[in-house]
A = this chain, B = another copy of it.
Amino acid sequence: MGRTTFHTDPVEALAGVADGDTVLVGGFGMAGMPVRLVDALIETGATDLTIVSNNAGNGETGLAALLKARRVAKVICSFPRQADSYVFDGLYRAGEIELEVVPQGNLAERMRAAGAGIGAFYSPTGVGTLLAEGKEQRTIDGRDYVLEMPIRGDWALVAAQAADPMGNLVYRKTARNFGPVMATAAATTVVEVRETVELGAMDPEAVVTPGIYVDRVVTA
């Protein structure tokens, strides 16, 4: 058996979260959003957090509730502005939150680089745009690229469909999105699952996230 631990209490599963930590939060819209873990993160009381996620929260639940509770110093995301992202909008316009906008593919690839031990990479995305300002540019084989650095998390909060006792994960449909990438890019990865299955019940060919990337699992 690996070293993945299993928890029923999501707050217990976040033991160790500290002020100033960087937290990768999975999900694209609500699909794959680790709702229980985000709520638990609020409960921990940790503040001055950097949140890395595709969006910056909707309405007043989940990430938006975390923002509203003033726990977040900085958001790194691709798309903060949504129909009902008024909590983020208000904090941003009041100058109370820092924002780093990253093209969605660079966001995913920068986390993949962190997980894969890549020091930096040249991306074709964003060349010649505001989001490449101040970044090193390089022409390789006649094409222009921008140097992008890894994004590492102290924590990754991920939602998956099922875990086995080794911590191996499968996801469901497009709820997979950022989960498998974030799981590789954090010092500690915490995963909420809908079901746990017995050892041997998961097809080894179909495992998406091997248990080595999964530190703690919160069961349903």
Contact = CB atoms under 8 A, between A and B. Distances in A.
A56 to B, nearest CB: 27
A118 B108 CA distance: 13
A149 interface: yes
Contacts of A204: 173
Interface stretch (A61-69, A80-88, A138-146): A138-146
Nearest to A149: B140
A105 to B, nearest CB: 9
Nearest to A123: B118
Nearest to A124: B117
Interface in A184-220: 203-206, 208
Contacts of A203: 206
Contact of A205 (B113, B121, B124, B171): B171
